[in-house]
Amino acid sequence: MISFDREQQIFHLQTEHSSYLIGIFAGKCLLHIHYGRRVEHCADMFAMMDKPAESRYDWNPKCMELGEQFALCEQTLELPTFGDGDYRSPGFHGEYADGSTVSKLYYTGHRIFAGKQALGELPSAYTEAGDQTVTLEITLADQLTGLRAYLYYTVYPAWDIITRSVRYENGGTAPILLKKVDSAVVDFDRMNFDFVHFYGTWARERQMERRPLFYGDQSVDSSRGASSHTQNPFVCLSAREATEDFGEVYGLNLIYSGNFHAGAYVDTFGKTRLYIGINSFDFSWKLDCGESFQTPEAILAYSHSGFAALSHRMHSFVHKRICRGQFRDIRRPVLINNWEATYFDFDEEKLVKLAEKAASVGVELMVLDDGWFGHRDDDRSSLGDWYEHRGRLPGGLEPLVERIHALGMKFGLWVEPEMISEDSELYRAHPDWCIHTAGRRCSEGRHQLVLDLSRPEVCDYLIEILSRLFSRVSVEYIKWDMNRNMTEVCSAALPPDRQREVAHRYMIGLYRVLGTLKQRFPHILMEGCAGGGGRFDLGMLCYFDQIWLSDDTDAVERQYIQTGSSYGYPFSVMGAHVSACPNHQTGRVTPFHTRGYAAMPGQFGYELDLDKLTEGELEEVRQQIRLYKELAPVFHDGTFYRICSPETDWKTVWEFVSPDRKTVVVEIFTVQAQAAAPMERFCLKGLQPDALYTDRLTGRQYWGDVLMHIGLMRARKQDYDGEMLILEQTAAGAKR
């Protein structure tokens, strides 16, 4: 709900547990008053100050339009700009035709409306009937330059989420160079927070780091042309003492898949500015007269009861208001992917043999990975040539697909459309279609170059070639890969003064390609991938039903990656597979059941040569698939709790509670065993205290309050061991 107090000149945005207050000072300047715990009453703009709006330091320049005593750098601001006395990292920075960089964006009007506006070419969170979403649009204008800013705030009351974005419009008479266009800035008048972010690299994505704020700027970013393995746009600001179940936590994410930055800037007065947006480094956008620029949408989530509640809000919001399409609410097929089973060494017979075995144990979808096209015998050629490799598939894809379908399985195909190999028909026909800088040799990543999706004709070509492929071959699933980051970023199609727009134009082009294909082929399940989790973000999740979380399939490392990812993202979007041992990435040997338990909460599948499994292991596969089919609704629609962390506890305990709280799945993994291992206690969460729960395997019964407040005990006896407890509510009185 959003209200405007005309007398006080204050906007009050309310979700179920949070309030966000903005004031209009002197009829002009937007001040940020509060974001945090919900209040019922409107505060006055300088509620707690003894001398409102009166500078306490001669040294701070005063903004004379706002008052002889008004220093911007002493205030908490809603859309901070640069040039008239605020020296913190601004939310907007632009350069005007006369070379000046001073912006004064003052309030000119607002409107409040039900629902939410579309974001033009960019993906955004959506609403459904009954959400009671309301949007506030505030208009600011700079009289001198004609620049206008439209600030959007959409309130999702039940989720405790507010989405924000800004649209800039050039209403002046000369072009304006946009240099920094953050999607959201939130000022706090304190710094006693921790900054939490998720760093990583290929095959080790989203490791959590939490550290106290220090004076100055602390930020994470990507300039790789993708949100990247190395940092994720999801960040948190938490109270220093916050735990899983206690304390204030703010979550911030961006619906964007390209270069971003997110950070906290602490100024000399101990005030914190939290910000997120397109990375301003190596970015600029020339905004011609009459044109608009829309920033990506930011998601702001708030919890006053720790990280668990924040994650729950993010999980259901991402699942239900970011992810979309016909697969959102249904169980996805269990798949087998041939990559780690065969790599490039396969032909039709080998694939059919793998599929036959897979079908016999209950797998539902056969995915043909890299190597089926052009003359791709290794990773040095053929990206761009999306027709069959006749050496491997002499009859093409159709006969193979028919044979897979005859087994009662669905068929899936790997593509990497954004890339081009120098050794390809496409490159020979269009050498200038790759991202490159004239006169400089292109750096290569995995021997490949990046197609220039900032060019509309390249996007049109991709839409056409892929539409033809998906229409000709009866595919029910696509794995959309992207295996290198951008370098030498320039486009042959843009003038010099627009070259710094290429990376963002690429994202707009990519979203158009994905959106068009999704619209034309809504029945195809799409899994995103970028060398594993190199583009695991909300932008991609507006198009992809799920994302291959990491190329690391090791059951132990996956506990870290999946735990880290779970802070901001639900298990329903994480592709997770059982693979062979010794594991291909780490060489580690883990029990087969542990691999099953580690992968099962995600979008489940197998990625190994089933022919190499023993009869006993094949039987385990059958059981795992049966169990997965039964428990998928608990994993994907239930509530997830991080009970023990692999990082700090040397064991991982994950708990999933079904929406009706009648089924509880607890997964316990030993990361590192200990000699003379003591019994370690852990308590479950989210149960009905006065309900009786029965352990399906042992028949032992426990009361909900006992499981939550006294807990279960286990010893860490065996490295990498895994255990799954299924607890089911028993009718009262059925206690033995």
The catalytic residues are 481, 551
Alpha carbons 364 and 717: distance in angstroms, whole number: 36
Return all residues near 330 (Cβ < 8 A) that are at least 6 apart: none
Nearer to ligand GLA, 182 or 551 (CB): 551
Which residue type, as a one-letter code, is found at position 678? P
Which listed residue (244, 481, 554, 637) binds ligand GLA by CB under 6 A?
A: 481
> Which one of the spans 73-81, 437-445, 524-532, 702-710 is the region binding ligand GLA (CB under 6 A)?
524-532
Closest C-alpha among 729, 656, 552, 684 to residue 311: 656
Residue 470 dihedral angles phi and psi, to the nearest 5°: -70, -20
> Which one of the spans 28-36, 109-117, 528-536, 576-584 is the region binding ligand GLA (CB under 6 A)?
528-536
- Pick out residues in 663-682 that bind ligand GLA (CB under 6 A): none
Q: CA quadruple 611, 613, 616, 621: dihedral positive or negative?
A: negative
Alpha carbons 322 and 594: distance in angstroms, whole number: 31
By the rule CB under 6 A, 485 interacts with ligand GLA: no
Q: Are 335 and 367 in contact (CB under 8 A)?
A: yes
By the rule CB under 6 A, 501 interacts with ligand GLA: no
3-state class of 505 per DSSP? helix
Distances (CA, A) of 25 to 30, 84, 480, 631: 6, 16, 49, 54
By the rule CB under 6 A, 554 interacts with ligand GLA: no
Q: How far apart are the first and last CA of the chain?
A: 50
Structure tokens at 427: 């490159």
Distances (CA, A) of 245 to 304, 612, 713: 9, 45, 21
> Which one of the spans 125-133, 526-534, 561-569, 590-598 is the region binding ligand GLA (CB under 6 A)?
526-534
Nearer to ligand GLA, 364 or 369 (CB): 369
Alpha carbons 584 and 586: distance in angstroms, whole number: 6
Alpha carbons 352 and 336: distance in angstroms, whole number: 12
Residue 353 dihedral angles phi and psi, to the nearest 5°: -60, -45
By the rule CB under 6 A, 369 interacts with ligand GLA: yes
Nearer to ligand GLA, 418 or 481 (CB): 481
H helix or E strand, kind and range, residue 625: helix 615-637
Sort residue 589 into left (φ over 0), alpha (ψ -120 to 50) or beta: beta
Nearer to ligand GLA, 45 or 486 (CB): 486
By the rule CB under 6 A, 414 interacts with ligand GLA: yes
Structure tokens at 484: 């290198």
By the rule CB under 6 A, 33 interacts with ligand GLA: no
Alpha carbons 305 and 226: distance in angstroms, whole number: 33
Which residue type, as a one-letter code, is found at position 563? T
Nearer to ligand GLA, 548 or 560 (CB): 548
DSSP state of 511: H
Binding mask 334-363 for ligand GLA (x = CB under 6 A): -----x------------------------
Which listed residue (370, 452, 527, 721) binds ligand GLA by CB under 6 A?
A: 370
Q: What is the total count of residues that contact ligand GLA (CB under 6 A)?
A: 11
Please state the closest distance from residue 413 (CB atom) to ligand GLA, in A: 11
Nearer to ligand GLA, 414 or 628 (CB): 414
Binding mask 555-594 for ligand GLA (x = CB under 6 A): ----------------------------------------
Please state the closest distance from residue 532 (CB atom) to ligand GLA, in A: 5
How do beta strands 410-415 and 477-480 pair? Answer: parallel
By the rule CB under 6 A, 483 interacts with ligand GLA: yes
Residue nearest to ligand GLA (CB): 370
By the rule CB under 6 A, 529 interacts with ligand GLA: yes
> Which one of the spans 96-104, 346-354, 525-533, 592-600 is the region binding ligand GLA (CB under 6 A)?
525-533
C-alpha atoms less than 13 angstroms from C-alpha of 216 in its C-beta half-sphere: 2
Nearer to ligand GLA, 80 or 532 (CB): 532
Binding mask 530-549 for ligand GLA (x = CB under 6 A): -xx---------------x-
> Which one of the spans 111-119, 311-319, 527-535, 699-707 is the region binding ligand GLA (CB under 6 A)?
527-535
Nearer to ligand GLA, 562 or 663 (CB): 562
Chain positions contacting ligand GLA, by CB under 6 A: 339, 369-370, 414, 481, 483, 529, 531-532, 548, 551
